[in-house]
Amino acid sequence: MAALKYAGLEDTDSEEELPPGWEERTTKDGWVYYANHLEEKTQWEHPKSGKRKRVAGELPYGWEQETDENGQVYFVDHINKRTTYLDPRLAFTVEDNPVKPTTRQKYDGNSTAMEILQGRDLSGKVAIITGANSGIGFETAKSLALHGVCVILACRSPARGDAAVQRILEEWHKAKVEAMTLDLASLQSVQHFAEAFKSKNLPLHMLICNAAVFGAPWSLTEDGLESTFQVNHLGHFYLVQLLEDVLRQSSPARVVVVSSESHRFTEIKDSSGKLDFSLLSPSKKEYWAMLAYNRSKLCNILFSNELNRRLSPHGVTSNSVHPGNMMYSSIHRSWWLYTLLFTLARPFTKSM
């Protein structure tokens, strides 16, 4: 009883009644959490019952959900002309008590980004996503933005970047999204992007290296390097180096490098087993688009592993990820045959 009195829990009889100093709130996607004003902390579990809850159903007619300047959700009753921080659906909550899955069963090929982020309030976090105007990058940017993250869409085309921002704002007009120009085929552009981001004096909690080209014909960048190698790997490598100090200062932070299972089908060693760096940026005569892509993805993984070894002691983790085989995005646009193959595989692969 002494412990209950100290926690302020002995003053109420009902298991569902909140102790003095506690307040019930909801996130943007309907999950209930509890604010302890005395200790200035929040938690998902009810302070007495230990249960997790979510609100059920849609908002009543005439109500609208908004977010204030501090990122806290409030509700507008347009019929009675009033606002409140109390979700009108809190009288109709349902208990969240799923069967606890094993690690292998928690997510599968049918999981969506919104399902994985469900119940998470990521307000105050900042993310940069390269190639975020379409495909995997756009879906990642949208999902994070709808959960409160300030998202920078780093795109080669300013017009397509701005269009992607508008698509996200149409879903939630309070989303914190911005497009910035980044051309990974230009190391100078990478440098300018990093400088422009740093000038905003923002933290950086997530750097998602997603942009890539696939099946592209041989060409050299303005830096004199083969394009697939520079866009898929070297441009991201340079970007991470330029933003490493911000990532460290923002810890805990993470770098996510989108790689591919196809990294297994290549090698960057010569016949004697030594690293052959000429394979990374080959001449036109020795170029094969698929091999160039595979090698760039292998470089992604080697880079991510070493980056994690160096930065994880400083609170910055790095992971590489295989998003799924032959996902139908715009990555196959370089050649009609690739488009045909991806179209045939589309019914059997994960959707955007």
Please choose, from the candidates 133, 138, 142, 123, the residue with its C-alpha nearest in 3D space to the C-alpha of residue 205.
123
- pLDDT for 156 equals 97
pLDDT at 97: 57
Of 240 and 265, the one with more pLDDT: 240
By residue range, what is the domain housing residue 182? Answer: 113-345
pLDDT of residue 151: 98
Tell me whether residue 1 is in a domain: no
CA-to-CA distance for 250 and 256, rounded, in angstroms?
15
Same domain, 67 and 129: no
Per-residue pLDDT, 96: 64
- Tell me the residue type at 329: S
Domain of 90, CATH number, reads: 2.20.70.10
Please report the pLDDT score of residue 230 as a whole number. 97
Q: How many residues does the chain have?
A: 352
In-domain check, residue 106: no
Where residue 138 sits, what CATH number does that domain have? 3.40.50.720
**Residue 275 belongs to some domain of the structure:** yes
Res. 104: pLDDT tops 70: no
Active-site option among 61, 74, 85, 293: 293
Give yes or no for residue 349 having a pLDDT over 70: no
Q: How far is CA 53 from CA 74, 111, 215, 262, 275, in A?
A: 18, 21, 48, 42, 55
Name all contacts of 283-291 with Cβ < 8 Å and 24+ positions apart: 284/218, 287/218, 287/226, 289/214, 289/215, 289/216, 289/217, 289/218, 289/228, 289/334, 289/335, 290/215, 290/262, 291/266
- Position 7 confidence tier, pLDDT thresholds 50, 70, 90: very low
Entry pTM: 0.68
268 shares a domain with 164: yes
Last residue of a domain, one of 67, 95, 123: 95
Please say whether the beta carbons of 72 and 85 come within 8 A: yes
Check whether residue 52 and residue 126 sit in a common domain. Answer: no
Would the pLDDT of 29 be above 80? no
Rounded Cα distance, 35 and 45, in Å: 10
Task: Please tell me which residue, 346 or 349, carries the higher pLDDT value.
Answer: 349
Residue 161's alpha-carbon distances to 12, 232, 305, 327, in angstroms, are: 53, 19, 30, 21
Residues 160 and 215 in one domain: yes
The reply to whether 74 belongs to the active site is no
Residues 162 and 124 in one domain: yes
What distance in Å separates the CA atoms of residue 350 and residue 260, rounded to the nearest whole number? 14
Q: Which residue has 């094969």 as its token pair? A: 288
Q: How many domains is the chain partitioned into structurally?
A: 2
- Same-domain check for residues 327 and 207: yes
Report the half-sphere exposure of 296 (CA within 13 A, side-chain side): 32
Are 89 and 183 in a shared domain? no
Among candidate residues 46, 48, 39, 50, the one with its CA nearest the CA of residue 12: 48
Residue 252: cis peptide before it, omega within 30 degrees of 0: yes
Give residue-wise pLDDT tens across range 268-281: 777 777 777 778 88
